[in-house]
Structure 1
Amino acid sequence: MKRFIIAALAVSMLAACKNETSEKKVNNKNEKAEKLAPINDSILGQSVIYEANIRQYSPEGTFNEFTKDIPQLKELGVKVIWLMPVYPISAVKRKAADGRFAEEIEDPKEREKILGSYYAISDYTGINPEFGTLEDFQKLVKTAHDNGIYVILDWVANHTGWDHVWIKEHPEFYTKNEAGEIIDPINPETGESWGWTDVADLNYDNKALWTEMRKDMRYWVEEQNIDGFRCDVAGEVPTEFWESAVEEIKQVKPIFMLAESEDKDLFEAAFDMGYNWEGHHILNAIAQGKQNAKDLSDYIKKIDTTYQQDDYLMNFVTNHDENSWSGSVNERMGDAAEVMTALIFTLPGMPLIYSGQEYDMQKRLRFFEKDTIPHQQNKFWPILSKLGTLKNESPALDGSKTPAEFIEIQNSDEHSIFSFVRKKGEDQIIFIGNLTNSVKSFSIAIDGQFIDYMNNEKVFEIKKNQQFKFSPWEYKILIIRQ
């Protein structure tokens, strides 16, 4: 991560800088298909990642219905699509929402509704027929690539479903209890089950497993032209395995690796980006009045000193786990949802959009059964579009391995007001936000005239010692005027 600096910014420093990031209108309708360059850090630095829940994305729940909408994702700044697992789901011990297995449900109509967890995989190189065919998947990947968007697959290396072929052909690949029975994953700290009873735990003490797992991962890159992986519970699998897999797969082509983990050791040679879980929980807590702007500032200082300069994290206000198990964005963040969304786009790192977030989804999606996200553009589509455009076009928001600087701006109420500047070269973006549910008055250690990016580029002026009054959760994204 970049070195963190606390500074008061003077007029001369800001006024002299030129603005090259005023909003540009983006029209993708008539663009010709782009030739996709190999995925690389310069592209990832100003990317938005989109998590696609194919089952719940449309009433049909198919690849083809999602593929139709890929071109419009460019409006949101999306450069990477992360597909939740696309593989066949185990029929054995297929779990229902109430914890029962589908085979325990007597009513055949009710039993048919149980589709199971995407993460209980029965075949790592197959396609879930629920979503369509391999040809449909190939069309999705090609459409994404034609639109300048990369595709990564969710990879579940920690466990398989109970009818995976390895259960019979390679039982030595699995963790067993004292009676020699294959078990579901256990918490290494407590020695007790996580409760993931619909999956069987893989044992990475067996190096033959490593070979087979690498082979299956390589298939998708070599044969299906995907661009990397988001790796489920990556910290529960040996780092050495991930490093060996990445080394082998990069012989085919460059790939992007996202870890569902904050374990910085994973970033040494295996992963490009991890989850910003701690930062996300702080945003939730601020929205609920349990923490404040000073806590967020302290956290950013901490990650700046604990991570390496080229490590970076994925920022989010929701994802499939948070939505289904912790609540919708509205449940967790309420009126703070917009300012928190603006923060994930402007803080160092890469912002995530989860299926339905762009349509103001107000519900928890069912995890084991069919559900559908809304598709009516409302408040958040234009917000995400403006933020995505700024992320794509402003070097000041570069968040990957060669990030733009993050400099905190002093203000008179550090527990309520969060203010900073991002800058790279002559490009600068300023964020000022009231992270409380109350009206707040404050002054800030900058002055000059700026472009109010989110407010139709109106001029926003700050004078020395001027007192500002921000409404609850009000924020400004300012661009330095030429």
Structure 2
Amino acid sequence: MKKILLVFMGLSVFLSCKKEAEKPEQVVDADTTALAPLTDEVMENAVIYEANIRQYSEEGSFKSFTKDIPKLKELGVKILWVMPIYPISTTKSKGSLGSYYAISDYTKVNPEFGSLEDFRQLVKTAHDNGIYVILDWVANHTGWDHVWLKEHPEYYTKDEAGNITHTVGTDWTDVADLNYDNTEMREQMISDMLYWVKEEKIDGFRCDVAGMVPVDFWEKAISTLKKEKPVFMLAEAWEPELQDNAFDMGYGWDTHHKMNDIAKGKENIEAWDHRMAQIDSMYDADDILMNFTSNHDENSWNGTVFERMGDGAEAFAALTYCAPGMPLIYSGQEYDMNKRLLFFEKDTIIKTKGRFYDIYKKLGQLKNNNAALNGGKKAASYKRISTSDKEHVLAFERQKDGRQLIYLANLSDAQVTTTVDHEGVFKNYMTGEEISLEKDKEYHLEPWEYIIYVND
């Protein structure tokens, strides 16, 4: 019996070893898989994704989100913006969970989302999938539990009675306003930002209400960060001066508002043309603006894409990719999310693929691979194409490096007939069908119908 047992054990070991030999453990050399430094070229054809960790899954955790990072790669995402991950102040907090933007410690993670090690795995997984990670940074204010309030009250803005105040002119009563006249606070702020770049290997920041913080602070902070490594900096602001010597990209707020107004019938295509002319006059050629149909503020406070844009949601989504700039996907948009996510409470995005997942996937491939959609510091050209319906039909051409793309859309809720002052043979990118444009030909476009013409 003992011999039989020994033979059986030997056979088990042999089979086990054979199985392991068939599927060897993969030891990855970190140096060979490290993500290349972020360059201007990455910005040209990138899609950015805003991750709302709390609401992304039922668990609301780093781990649950990390599992889906390969799906972001499938959508063409190259930059992952993670909403604030830091511990949330409970003093004067709003709702049962409080705001992500009322931070109690800049160098720790919110245990609601998991551990620091969980976050490190998120960053590693993103990098392994060719995606850069930027953290949401809140430099204008802290939560009322932040250690600075006890140890450095001089870091904060005070009223005439000497009391620390929330930001004047806002209803942000859950946060204490920082005083940028204090140079020591500025240095500590930069040091805390540098921690995430040096120690946690992140690739930049999206900076909350950046226009409310002095420009000279951003210039010094970002210069310091870029001495450590190339970083991508997104300002939640429209002010052109923030991109002169500091940020890589700002918000296309006015572009977004024009799209909302056109969708609601309050404005027409003339408003779009005025906005494009405004961008040309206000911004330098190498400035980048972020295009979006939604984000965490718009969704929670102003309504879902479908509330604001109705049946035009797809046409405007395509426009954010085809217009100059970088397109944003907010958590849940790829799953046709049609609800306002709660901001101070737990809520959950239902991740069921519907109409938009494949649309974003296809648009992402186009953005990533067609130079005619380059939208960075050396963007493709933008040229308006005339149509006979100047109120409802938008047509423009983008070109770069021999690549050509035309966006044609009926941005109204009624069928239109129009001519287009352009000609050539193209492919309808979304359907793959060969299609011609002829100058004198009349085209019938259904409500909110759009076509993306490409020359390959």
Which bracket does the TM-score occupy, shorter chain normalised?
A: over 0.9
Name which of 345, 350, 363 aligns with 1:374: 350
Cα deviation for residue 462 of structure 1 reads 2.0
Asked if 2 retains the 8 angstrom alpha-carbon contact of 1:174 and 1:200, the reply is yes
Cα deviation for residue 34 of structure 1 reads 5.1
Name which of 391, 397, 400 aligns with 1:421: 397
Other-structure match for 1:11:
none
Other-structure match for 2:102:
120
Residue identity in the other structure for 2:178: L
Matched-pair identity in % = 57
Question: Which consecutive unaligned segments of at least 5 residues does structure 1 have?
Answer: 1-31, 97-113, 188-193
Structure-1 separation of matches of 2:210 and 2:256? 18
Other-structure match for 1:157:
139
Other-structure match for 1:199:
175
Residue 318 of structure 1 aligns to a residue whose secondary structure is coil
CA distances 1:204-237 after superposition (whole Å, capped 9, x unpaired): 0111111000000000000000000000000000
Structure-2 separation of matches of 1:452 and 1:327? 32
Q: Does 1:218 align with 2:217?
A: no
Residue identity in the other structure for 1:83: V
Asked if 2 retains the 8 angstrom alpha-carbon contact of 1:359 and 1:374, the reply is yes
More RCO (CA 8 Å, sep 6+)? 1
Q: Does 1:91 align with 2:90?
A: yes
Residue identity in the other structure for 2:217: F
Residue identity in the other structure for 1:429: L
Structure-2 separation of matches of 1:344 and 1:247? 30
CA distances 1:168-227 after superposition (whole Å, capped 9, x unpaired): 10000000011100000013xxxxxx0000000000011111100000000000000000
Structure-2 separation of matches of 1:475 and 1:40? 33
Cα deviation for residue 152 of structure 1 reads 0.1
Other-structure match for 1:141:
123
Asked if 2 retains the 8 angstrom alpha-carbon contact of 1:440 and 1:472, the reply is yes
Other-structure match for 1:471:
446
Cα deviation for residue 448 of structure 1 reads 2.2
Asked if 1 retains the 8 angstrom alpha-carbon contact of 2:80 and 2:133, the reply is yes
TM-score for both structures, normalised by structure 1: 0.87
Other-structure match for 1:238:
214
Asked if 1 retains the 8 angstrom alpha-carbon contact of 2:420 and 2:438, the reply is no
Residue identity in the other structure for 1:460: I
Asked if 1 retains the 8 angstrom alpha-carbon contact of 2:86 and 2:104, the reply is yes
Other-structure match for 1:8:
none
Other-structure match for 1:21:
none
Cα deviation for residue 447 of structure 1 reads 1.7
Residue identity in the other structure for 1:157: A
Greater shift in the superposed pair: 389-398 or 305-314: 305-314
More helix by share: 2
Residue identity in the other structure for 1:86: I
Name which of 406, 430, 435 aligns with 1:460: 435
Structure-2 separation of matches of 1:463 and 1:255? 45
Other-structure match for 1:385:
361
Asked if 2 retains the 8 angstrom alpha-carbon contact of 1:35 and 1:148, the reply is no
Other-structure match for 1:29:
none
Structure-1 separation of matches of 2:121 and 2:61? 12
Greater shift in the superposed pair: 34-43 or 395-404: 34-43
CA distances 1:11-34 after superposition (whole Å, capped 9, x unpaired): xxxxxxxxxxxxxxxxxxxxx995
Question: Which consecutive unaligned segments of at least 5 residues does structure 2 have?
Answer: 1-27
Give the alignment of 1:232-311 within 5 angstroms: 232-311=208-287
Other-structure match for 1:324:
300
Residue identity in the other structure for 2:448: W
Name which of 124, 128, 131 aligns with 2:113: 131
Residue identity in the other structure for 1:150: Y
Residue 406 of structure 2 aligns to a residue whose secondary structure is strand
Residue identity in the other structure for 2:40: D
Residue 251 of structure 1 aligns to a residue whose secondary structure is helix
Name which of 338, 360, 370 aligns with 1:394: 370
Residue 228 of structure 2 aligns to a residue whose secondary structure is coil
Other-structure match for 1:39:
38
Cα deviation for residue 35 of structure 1 reads 3.8
CA distances 1:388-446 after superposition (whole Å, capped 9, x unpaired): 00000001100011100001111111211100110002001111000111100000111
Structure-2 separation of matches of 1:266 and 1:448? 41
Structure-2 separation of matches of 1:393 and 1:461? 23
Structure-2 separation of matches of 1:45 and 1:51? 18
Residue identity in the other structure for 1:89: I
Other-structure match for 1:185:
167
Other-structure match for 1:12:
none
Q: Does 1:312 align with 2:288?
A: yes
Cα deviation for residue 464 of structure 1 reads 3.1
Quick one: structure 1 residues 84 and 305, their matched pair in 2 at CA, closer, same or farther if it must change by over 3 Å? same
TM-score for both structures, normalised by structure 2: 0.92
CA distances 1:300-321 after superposition (whole Å, capped 9, x unpaired): 0111121111111000000000
Structure-2 separation of matches of 1:213 and 1:35? 28
Q: In the comparison of the two structures, how many residue pairs are matched?
A: 426
CA distances 1:305-362 after superposition (whole Å, capped 9, x unpaired): 2111111100000000000000001110010000000000000000000000000000
Asked if 2 retains the 8 angstrom alpha-carbon contact of 1:234 and 1:260, the reply is yes
Asked if 2 retains the 8 angstrom alpha-carbon contact of 1:34 and 1:148, the reply is no
